[in-house]
């Protein structure tokens, strides 16, 4: 029998909740058909379990649950306008911090891949964590800079008036999609107008998502516009990270990936900002 055979096996509370919520999306007719195929003793046990769960939840309000830090039944997602204003705040903080320094900007990508943490103190791990955060920020800026440079190249090629042949043939020769190329050209134009947008911590997708809103916003916010129009300071890019071909320490081969923690999360443009708006302060 299904329930009895699994009584002593380990289970995940999160996965149990997930299954209960998933089952609740089916119609009564579909559930009835499934029950007809279920062992009578298992069905009786399920009935008792659901009754007990229902009694336990009676009187519990979503306000109480949310007050304790748990997820409420009806979660209100930030609106597009709220995410845009959060992006503007992010831009203002970043550009002001950047403008306050006159040092050469260093984008360092030197880190150790496959670090072993078993013999380290928490203080040492915190230092490594900060180093990785700095490397990630550098990598994101470098990636954006590479896309801007590609956009500059594509802009030149597209406006070369047939010097290198038909534009369609050029894209085919470079093995790039013309629609994607146009996005990179757009990014080049945006960064050409607002160079310091590069150091504001926004991804390519996020910048493209707010492009028109940002342009309209800056028409009435001249001070921020003037700051974004300033050229970047000199940048020094350094690296040296090495990763071997061996399996990373502490990892074991698996047949399939573990259950994704972000399975139901939004991974579209501005997801980082939505996470920040959606996560209550501790």
Q: Which residue has the tokens 């979660």?
A: 75
Question: Nearest to residue 249, comparing CAs of 110, 108, 112?
Answer: 112
Average pLDDT, the chain: 78
For 180-229, the pLDDT digits (tens) are 889 899 999 999 999 999 999 999 889 988 889 999 999 999 999 999 99
Q: What is the number of other CB atoms lying within 10 angstroms of the CB of residue 215? A: 13
pLDDT band at 280 (very low <50, low <70, confident <90, very high): low
pLDDT band at 61 (very low <50, low <70, confident <90, very high): low
**206 class by beta-carbon count within 10 Å (0-12 exposed, 13-18 middle, 19+ buried):** buried
Q: What is the number of other CB atoms lying within 10 angstroms of the CB of residue 214? A: 23
């Amino acid at each position: 029998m299904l329930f009895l055979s699994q009584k002593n096996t380990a289970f995940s509370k999160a996965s149990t909740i997930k299954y209960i919520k998933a089952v609740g999306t089916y119609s009564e007719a579909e559930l009835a058909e499934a029950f007809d195929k279920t062992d009578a003793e298992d069905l009786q046990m399920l009935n008792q379990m659901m009754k007990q769960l229902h009694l336990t939840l009676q009187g519990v309000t979503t306000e109480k649950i949310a007050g304790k830090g748990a997820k409420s039944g009806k979660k209100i997602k930030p609106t597009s306008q709220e995410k845009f204003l959060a992006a503007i705040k992010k831009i203002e903080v970043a550009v002001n911090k950047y403008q306050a320094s006159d040092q050469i900007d260093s984008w360092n990508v030197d880190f150790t891949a496959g670090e072993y943490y078993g013999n380290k103190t928490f203080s040492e791990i915190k230092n490594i964590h900060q180093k990785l955060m700095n490397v990630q920020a550098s990598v994101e800026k470098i990636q954006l800079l590479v896309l801007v440079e590609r956009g500059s190249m594509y802009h030149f090629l597209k406006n070369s008036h047939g010097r290198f042949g038909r534009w369609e043939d050029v894209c085919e020769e470079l093995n790039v999609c013309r629609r994607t190329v146009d996005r990179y050209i757009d990014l080049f134009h945006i960064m050409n107008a607002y160079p310091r947008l590069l150091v504001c911590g926004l991804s390519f997708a996020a910048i493209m998502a707010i492009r028109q809103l940002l342009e309209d916003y800056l028409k009435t916010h001249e001070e921020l516009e003037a700051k974004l129009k300033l050229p970047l300071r000199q940048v020094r890019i350094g690296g040296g990270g090495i990763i071997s071909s061996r399996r990373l320490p502490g990892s074991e081969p698996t047949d399939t990936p573990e259950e994704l923690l972000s399975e139901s999360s939004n991974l579209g443009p501005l997801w980082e900002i939505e996470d920040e708006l959606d996560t209550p302060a501790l």
